[in-house]
Chain A
């Protein structure tokens, strides 16, 4: 959804009186717009009576908050130790070599945006990921191929 100042302001106003409201507000904005638009920073700062620098500092500290929108499907691929022990790094190179998809690359034209996460708590079924928020596990090259094909609208 395109960024809209009045919608952003309404979302901010809804939680501005919550103690420690910064993260809840940022989550709401990101859920609505898919990212935190730079124009939202002064609105948050003003509502919470903190400086713009502090607000931006919070946005940049947390890995979750995106500063620009991403298109297409999102695969959050776990690359922590448990998934390493089951070959997640092989999937990372497979994504790049076979599909030309670089993990954590903002400018990915493939329709599938792959992000690194560290642990999804699905470690007994590694390698694990979240595909558009839905848990998937026991990933291998074939499953990755199917996920890429589906994201690109191809039927396998």
Chain B
């Protein structure tokens, strides 16, 4: 029997040379006349170890990493195919504490399987959720999702089951299921990892939604910054069709559901659900005024379930194991698991899926091991570019929707970006406004104009011009944007600005510097 070697083809792994390592291992095996089976998988999400080479042994899968292509001959000399000792040997990958301490419900399979093998997906427990949903019928399926307490993982935290129940209750000749895979928040990559590493899970989740609400068509809107995810996902759709998971009769149930992947075009605002729908309809990604809710009048005016990748990907587990088992994870009204993403200036960056309620400290210090540069942590931005900058005094905040809100922040899509003490928080506040100005869809004045005035006002503060007056003006402006914007972009852009002002006021009182015009 040939030895089985696993190397990720996740785009993060590729960015540090996974393809080169895979080629080198193949070549070296050929040179030595060894028969190996090289499987390209998703990533385990332990990115500081990429390219990670795993080998199947009697004791389980053992890992070596990070490997550079030039080291492969050494690996063979050390008998890595038999799990031999080597300076980069990591032992059993499942026993690496970073992985062993996680509670992986969504990412249980990511990194283990060939992402495009439906057989592999089944062998590793896939399709159990959809099979049970088909057996239970639409109403009971939606009740399970409701009872699980699953809330939208895109950031808003709206109960998924309520969206589904609403769409199910509307009569229409056509309904849609739309997946928001426009993961634009800096510091987040869970959607990308899942689409590249376990795409059938998302397809299964969307199929569960489709057969439950009576939608026959689905669409996944993937951002153009994710070309690999888009390519992988398109191939996964084809294979799902060929394997009977999608099409005229989903798993032989007689119920039709099919999917299409669509590519975004570099607009952050299209992560807002109504902008995304406009974009899918071929228009500028300008937000819609709600109501009507998309659940009632969404894509092409038809009832539409629109959820984030991770929301859909949570439902197969819920259906397979039951709402009660899912709700046993988490705290308060934040139930289940959240894939957190450790990013930025962090020593051990990667994907950490945990039940809600772990503290920011456990994540950043426990898993993350502090900063990459080795300097002290100064600020942590949680929840993407619209999330708050938190100081180290708030490290003990539990990571759940309510605790984060109480701390003046938000969980968002679970991105955690660490900054060391070299960061200038006035510059970060300026960037938050600048980003909002660049990405505003232009529909409402507080966002479109407010963000530009915001940049100018922060510039004046940095330049030392009438500081107390301009700080007050900035706060007033933030209030107007928060209360007066139509959607979360203008409404939340003040969050990083105000948190910087409140927690790091010293950075707004430094000796004036000239700001370069941009």
Q: Which positions in A face B, CB cutoff 8 Å?
A: 19-24, 26-27, 48, 50, 54, 57-58, 61-65, 76, 78, 80-86, 117-126, 128, 130, 133-138
Report if A81-B381 is in contact (Cβ < 8 Å); known contacts: A22-B282, A23-B282, A136-B15: yes
Q: Are A58 and B283 in contact (CB under 8 A)?
A: yes
The residues of A that contact B345 with a CB separation of less than 8 Å are 85-86, 126
The residues of B that contact A20 with a CB separation of less than 8 Å are 262, 280-282, 300
* Interface check B121, CB cutoff 8 A: no
* Interface check B246, CB cutoff 8 A: no
Give the Cβ gap from A61 to chain B, nearest Cβ, in Å: 4
Q: Are A65 and B341 in contact (CB under 8 A)?
A: no
Q: Are B372 and A81 in contact (CB under 8 A)?
A: no
Q: Are A81 and B187 in contact (CB under 8 A)?
A: yes
Query: What would be 23 A-B contacts, judged by CB atoms less than 8 Å apart?
Result: A24-B262, A27-B263, A58-B283, A61-B267, A63-B265, A63-B266, A64-B266, A81-B187, A81-B417, A81-B428, A84-B431, A85-B344, A86-B345, A86-B372, A118-B385, A118-B435, A119-B186, A119-B187, A120-B11, A121-B226, A122-B12, A125-B16, A135-B11
Report if A80-B385 is in contact (Cβ < 8 Å); known contacts: A19-B300, A65-B265: yes
How long is the Cα–Cα vector from A37 to B228 in the complex, in angstroms? 26
Interface residues contributed by chain B, number (CB under 8 Å) = 62
* Interface check B144, CB cutoff 8 A: no
Give the Cβ gap from A84 to chain B, nearest Cβ, in Å: 7
Given contacts A21-B282, A80-B385, A121-B226, 13 further A-B contacts (CB under 8 A): A23-B262, A23-B263, A58-B283, A58-B284, A81-B186, A81-B344, A81-B417, A86-B344, A86-B345, A121-B188, A121-B191, A122-B11, A130-B225
Q: Are A118 and B265 in contact (CB under 8 A)?
A: no
Q: Are A57 and B284 in contact (CB under 8 A)?
A: yes
Q: Are A137 and B186 in contact (CB under 8 A)?
A: no
Q: Are A82 and B15 in contact (CB under 8 A)?
A: no
Q: Are B349 and A135 in contact (CB under 8 A)?
A: no
Give the Cβ gap from B194 to chain A, nearest Cβ, in Å: 11
A55 nearest in chain B by CB position: B282
Residue with the greatest number of chain A CB neighbours at <10 A, chosen from B14, B183, B284, B420: B284
How long is the Cα–Cα vector from A111 to B227 in the complex, in angstroms? 23
Report if A120-B225 is in contact (Cβ < 8 Å); known contacts: A23-B263, A26-B265, A62-B267: yes
How long is the Cα–Cα vector from A78 to B349 in the complex, in angstroms? 17
The residues of B that contact A78 with a CB separation of less than 8 Å are 186
Q: Are A82 and B344 in contact (CB under 8 A)?
A: yes
B371 nearest in chain A by CB position: A85
Report if A123-B265 is in contact (Cβ < 8 Å); known contacts: A21-B282, A61-B284: no
Q: Are B300 and A124 in contact (CB under 8 A)?
A: no
Q: Are A123 and B415 in contact (CB under 8 A)?
A: yes
How long is the Cα–Cα vector from A128 to B186 in the complex, in angstroms? 11
Q: Are B228 and A135 in contact (CB under 8 A)?
A: yes
* Interface check B310, CB cutoff 8 A: no
Give the Cβ gap from A106 to chain B, nearest Cβ, in Å: 16
Q: Are A81 and B431 in contact (CB under 8 A)?
A: yes
Q: Are A123 and B349 in contact (CB under 8 A)?
A: yes
Q: Are B16 and A138 in contact (CB under 8 A)?
A: yes
Within 8 Å by CB of A82, from B11, B417, B423, lies B417
How long is the Cα–Cα vector from A57 to B350 in the complex, in angstroms? 39
The residues of A that contact B191 with a CB separation of less than 8 Å are 121
The residues of A that contact B107 with a CB separation of less than 8 Å are none
* Interface check B189, CB cutoff 8 A: yes
